[in-house]
Chains A and B, each alone.
Chain A
Amino acid sequence: MLKAFFHILIFPGLLFLFVFGFFAEYADRKLYARFQNRIGPPWFQPLADFIKLIAKEEIIPEEADVKFFKLMPVLALAASSVAILYIPIWGEQAVFSFNGDVIVVLYLLTIPTFAYFLGGWYSRSVYSMIGAVRSLTQLFAYEVPLFLCILASAMLADTWSLSGMVRFYSQHIGYWFCNIIGFGVALICLLGKLEKVPFDIPEAETEIVAGSFTEYNGRLLAFIRMSFNIETVAGASLLAAVFLPFGLNLPPAAAFLCYLIQVFLIIASISFLRALFARLRLDQMINLCWKYLAPLAFLQVLFNLTLKVVLPR
Chain B
Amino acid sequence: MHESGDVKIPIGPQHPALKEPESFLISLRGEKITASSVRLGYNHRGIEKACEERTYTQGLYLIERICGICSHSHSTCFVQAVEEIAGLEVPARAKYIRTLIAELERMHSHLLWLGVAGHEIGFDTLLMYTWRDREVVMDLLAALTGNRVNYGINTIGGVRRDISSKQKEEILRAMDILEDRTKYYIDLAKGEATLIKRLQGVGILSHEDAKKLDAVGPTARASGIERDVRKDDPYAAYAELDFKVVSVNNCDVYGRTLVRLGELMESFNLARQVVRKIPEGPILAKPPRKIPAGEVVSRYEAPRGEDLHYVRSNGTEKPDRVKVRAPTLANIQSVSKMLEDRYLADMPIVIAAIDPCFSCTDRLVALRDAESEKKNTVAWETVRLKGIEWHKNRGTDFTSLNKKLTRLFQHA
Contacts and interface: CB of A to CB of B under 8 A. Distances in A.
Check whether chain A touches chain B (CB < 8 angstroms): yes
Interface of A: 35-38, 126-127, 129-130, 197-198, 200-201, 204-209, 275-284
Given A127-B9, A206-B348, A283 B343 contact: yes
Contact of B9 (A36, A130, A277): A130
A206 B124 CA distance: 11
B146 interface: no
A206 B132 contact: no
B122 A278 contact: yes
Nearest to A209: B16
A205 B18 CA distance: 11
B16 A281 contact: no
For the complex, would chain B's binding face be called helix, strand, loop or mixed by DSSP majority? helix
B52 interface: no
Contacts of B195: 278
Contacts of A126: 7-10
A281 to B, nearest CB: 4
Contacts of B10: 126
Interface stretch (B39-47, B59-67, B113-121, B391-399): B113-121
B258 to A, nearest CB: 17
Contacts of B119: 206
Contacts of B132: 37
A207 B194 CA distance: 17
Contacts of B140: none
B278 interface: no
Contacts of B15: 209
Given A38-B128, A126-B9, A206-B16, A279 B122 contact: yes
Nearest to B8: A126
B348 A276 contact: no
A281 B123 CA distance: 13
B129 A206 contact: no
A204 B124 CA distance: 12
B20 to A, nearest CB: 14
B95 interface: no
Interface in B193-217: 194-195, 197-198
Given A36-B128, A201-B345, A278-B121, A284 B9 contact: no
Nearest to A33: B128
A276 B198 CA distance: 14
Contacts of A280: 194, 197-198
A279 B344 contact: no
Contacts of B194: 198, 277-280
A294 B125 CA distance: 29
A281 B346 contact: yes
Given A35-B125, A278-B198, A281-B343, A206 B9 contact: no
A36 B345 contact: no
Interface in B120-160: 120-126, 128-129, 132
16 contacts: A35-B125, A37-B128, A130-B7, A197-B124, A198-B194, A206-B16, A206-B120, A206-B348, A207-B345, A208-B9, A278-B194, A278-B197, A279-B121, A279-B194, A281-B197, A284-B197
